[in-house]
């Protein structure tokens, strides 16, 4: 486990582009979660879309574990938690849109 954490702070040149992509995607999720939480409205949100994004992040994390564990792995984790929170709120508030 310690070796995994030590390796996770190494970043290679290819991971820089992946990191920027995840940071850009991840920048919008806190706003989406906050909006859903404040308005308690999930109108226009797709649970299927959020689920597919979660699956994509999980496979990105698996790729990092199998190939090169670096700090980008933790960006996947943060994004996964944010999207999962949004999906949870969608499930929680889905019956309010009647």
From residue 91, give the alpha-carbon distance in Å to each of 29, 44, 84, 88.
16, 13, 10, 5
Q: Please list, in sequence order, all residues whose beta carbon lies within 8 angstroms of the beta carbon of residue 3, skipping any fewer than 6 positions away.
A: none
- The pLDDT value given to residue 11: 60
Domains of the chain by residue range: 30-97
- The pLDDT value given to residue 55: 98
- The pLDDT value given to residue 95: 84
In the chain, which residues have pLDDT < 70?
1-14, 97-98
- The pLDDT value given to residue 3: 65
Q: How long, in residues, is the chain?
A: 98
């Amino acid at each position: 486990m310690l070796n995994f954490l030590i390796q996770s702070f190494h970043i290679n040149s290819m991971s820089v582009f992946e990191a920027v992509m995840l940071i850009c995607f991840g920048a919008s999720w806190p706003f989406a979660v906050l909006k859903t939480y404040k308005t308690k409205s999930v109108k226009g949100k797709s649970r299927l879309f959020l689920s597919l994004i979660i699956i994509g992040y999980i496979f990105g994390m698996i790729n990092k574990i199998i190939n090169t564990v670096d700090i980008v792995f933790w960006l996947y984790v943060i994004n996964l938690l944010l999207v999962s929170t949004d999906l949870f709120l969608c499930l929680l508030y889905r019956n309010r849109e009647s």
